[in-house]
Structure 1
Amino acid sequence: RRKHVYSCSYSGQHLLKSFISAALNKEEAVHVLGFDVSEEELKDGLTASTQRLHFHSAYTDPLGWTNRTAFTVHQFCVEELTHLLKQTSHPKPVTLVIDSLSWILRHVSPPAVCKTLQQLKKGGAVRAVIGLLHADMHQRGTVGSVCHLATSVITVAPGTKGDEAVAKITKRSKSGKVMQDEEIFSIKGDFSVTVVSKTSHAGHRQTEPEEHQTDPTANLTFNIRLSDTEREAKEKLALPFVFSKEKSDFFSVTTSNICCFSFFLFNFF
């Protein structure tokens, strides 16, 4: 599951079309919940076959005031979405694109949205969810809750050149491991993505210069260091809590046997 987070300084529509085009080129079925742009604008420029692209328009009436749209924000629940996806026959799970999730979050409570996304993830009818989210429109807690469900979060910003953009990518594996990358990319006329450069931030640490270490015993009025003769006498001294060689050998063998015995009992049970 992927969520793509954008800010007002950079439009996410071109990158969203890149994901749609890539899915269509793989002969996958794509269902789009369209709130931000019309069907004509979304399909404009797509060179891939759009026969497997199903657009459910909520662009003209997202709240269902006129009852003339194919989809509204109030239909964003797992029952309605499952019914919508089953209207078209495809042998494999489809890719669901939400353009944009911000419309839904403005009119449906964030817990209900997160619950629906989680149910879609477990239902099996959807192979992947790609959601466009305008992060500037929502509180930080709402954005964090939605993105926590995602396996990948991409935050984009304008680059130094006119045709380039910067993508900060956070990937979360099933084990909980988080990887962060940063890519500079550009989008061609056919909506294919070209990565200009890539930097990984996983495990990166900034090294600091070593500080000068002072000797804390330098200015003492008494000596705390041992001479060679004193050290030799100390090593020959038999302390009261130290076992003799015979006892040391006995406890070493016994402890070793107990550890092995416990080990086999653990595996046996």
Structure 2
Amino acid sequence: MLSDLLQATDAGGLLIIQDFASYSGRHLLKSFINAALNREEAVHVFGFEISEAELKDGLKGPNLQRLHFHDAFTDPLGWTDRPAFTVYQFNLEKLTHLVEQTSHHKPATVVIDSLSWILSHVSPPVVCKTLQQLKKGRAVRSVIGLLHADMHHIGTVGSVCHLATSVIMVAPGMKGDEAVAKITKRSKSGKVMQDEEVFSIKEDLTVMVQNKLNQTGPKQTDPEEQESDPAANLTFNLRLSDTEREAKEKLALPFVFSKEKKTALLHSGPGSGRILYEPDANDDYDQEDPDDDLDV
């Protein structure tokens, strides 16, 4: 699934790369930038955390001329007289204006590095509204954002990821050059697909998917996610063995009638008991009015 996301077959989506302090997702972010440039797309990077030179490190070739860096790293809060781009300019009008200036009327890919910097100075509802408007705009083909999950409240992370069509949560792998990607993808029909893959990033920023995590062995659960077994320390056994389970399935319950028992109850045979009533001479019974003896 990671390879499909790198090919970016679906337009009009929002991709969130969610990382933690244990593993940075910026290398994967640069791989998505490199893949978009190889598809001959215009890429607009709004950089808050690293400089333009550091971002372009590793990106080579003639496709680099289609990469447009909007410097929000030098003066992100607008303290100088002429800031290039500030965090307070993160709105639909300003972003669309900058993209349309250099994209030659062709939808471009917008990269935000990172959303965490913006969320630290702009309220989450405003950021979510801008992302929703941006991914639906005609000037933008797709939006890719880096989000440091351990810097925000879980509700803020959930709100941003809820807008995304795809979320990639990255974590360190077993080897030094490997990482694990937990992918959640939502289709236009509402179907949600999830996958876990082990990948590595080469020097030319190409992504090599090693294998699927569920094929390498049983999934390891974090200690915090493990639920305690309520029947682990009991003095009696609550579980059944295979023999006991088989005997239980063969046991006939008292309130469940078999076919033979139902037939015997519904169809009386010879010798079965019956109640016959013969009126007595003293019985005052009127055939025309059976209820004559009632005081009504």
Coarse TM-score class (shorter-chain normalised): 0.7 to 0.9
Length-normalised TM-score, structure 2: 0.71
Greater shift in the superposed pair: 171-180 or 34-43: 171-180
For 1:209 and 1:104, locate their aligned partners in 2 and report how far apart those are by CA, in whole Å: 57
Show the counterpart of 2:148: 134
Equivalent residue, structure 2, for 1:163: 177
> Which of 30, 51, 59 is the aligned partner of 2:43?
30
Q: Give the direction of change, closer, same or farther, for the CA distance of 1:209–1:45 in structure 2 (3 Å limit).
A: farther
3-state SS of the aligned residue for 1:162? coil
1:18 has 2:52 as partner: no
Which residue in 1 is equivalent to 2:263?
Answer: 232
5+ residue gaps, structure 2, are 1-13, 216-239, 269-296
Query: Aligned in 2, Cα 1:60/1:144: closer, same or farther, shift over 3 Å?
Result: same
2:248 to 214, 222, 229: 214
**What letter matches 1:139 in structure 2?**
H
Match in the other structure for 1:121: 135
> Secondary structure of the equivalent of 1:87?
helix
- Residue 66 of structure 1 and its aligned partner are, at CA, apart by 1.0
Larger Rg: 2
Q: What runs of 5+ residues in structure 1 fail to find an aligned partner?
A: 202-207, 238-269
State whether residues 33 and 57 of structure 1, in contact with CA within 8 Å, keep that contact through their aligned partners in structure 2.
Answer: yes
Code of the aligned partner of 1:152: S
1:6 and 2:19 matched: yes
CA deviation string 1:16-43 (max 9, x = no partner)? 1100000000000000001111000111
Aligned residue number for residue 189 of structure 1: 203
Q: Which residue identity is paired with 1:94?
A: A
Mapping of residues 12-91 of structure 1, within 5 Å: 12-48=25-61, 49-91=63-105
Q: Distance between the aligned counterparts of 1:45 and 1:227, measured in 2?
A: 78
Which whole-Å CA distance do the structure 1 matches of 2:153 and 2:82 have between them? 31
Structure 1 residues 161 and 217: CA distance shift in structure 2, 3 A: closer
Determine the C-alpha separation between the residues in 2 that align with 1:42 and 1:191: 12
Q: Deviations over 1:176-208 (max 9, x none)?
A: 21111001000000000000012469xxxxxx9
Counterpart Cα distance in 2 of 1:121 and 1:227: 64
SS in 2 for 1:170: strand
TM superposition outliers: structure 1 runs of 4+ over 3 Å: 208-211, 213-220, 223-228, 230-237
Q: Percent identity?
A: 68
Q: Over aligned residues, Cα RMSD in angstroms?
A: 2.7
How far apart, in 2, do the equivalents of 1:71 and 1:54 lie? 13
**Per-residue Cα deviation, 1:124-173 (whole angstroms, up to 9, x for no partner):** 21100000111111000000000101000000011010000001000011
C-alpha change, 1:89 and 1:227, in structure 2 (3 Å) is: closer
